[in-house]
Amino acid sequence: MKPSDRVPLVLFILRITVFLVMFMWTLDKFIRPEHAATVYQHFYRLGGLGRAAMYTIGVLELALLIGFVLGVGTRLTYGAVLLLHAISTLSSYGQYLHPFQEANLLFFAAWPMLGACFALYSLRDLDTCWRISGTSKAA
């Protein structure tokens, strides 16, 4: 593989893996809306969200993630994914203060993913593999 082809391939792999994680979080809103509402109450201080709210948030997230994984409107979709993940990562600050309690070590996995989201946003013009908008080329 030519060196010039490596960056787009790496960015494509980052895009797919970030999508997979965020897609699972989105599915949680449809499969276990009560759990998702508890997460919103505990981490974002947004209580009282019921099934309808979780389904609505899930639909909006799913639309964003489909655009993101397809590489559509990268400034908007990559930026929104970065912002959402940054809010999620920073809102979990309490878990970082007590890393060895329960499953809190797993929260530290959010930081490399935040770095991946930042890299994708910063290098969005070079992310050309398997994109709908912009230059598309297969890996």
Bridge partners of residue 129, in order along the sequence: 137
What pTM did the predictor assign?
A: 0.90
> Tokens standing for 114?
């935040």
Provide mean pLDDT across the span 97-120.
92
Average pLDDT, the chain: 93
Measured CA to CA, the distance from residue 113 to residue 76 in angstroms comes to 18
- From residue 85, how far is each of 20, 21, 98 by CA, in Å? 13, 10, 21
CB 56 within 8 A of CB 36: no
Task: State the pLDDT at residue 133.
Answer: 63
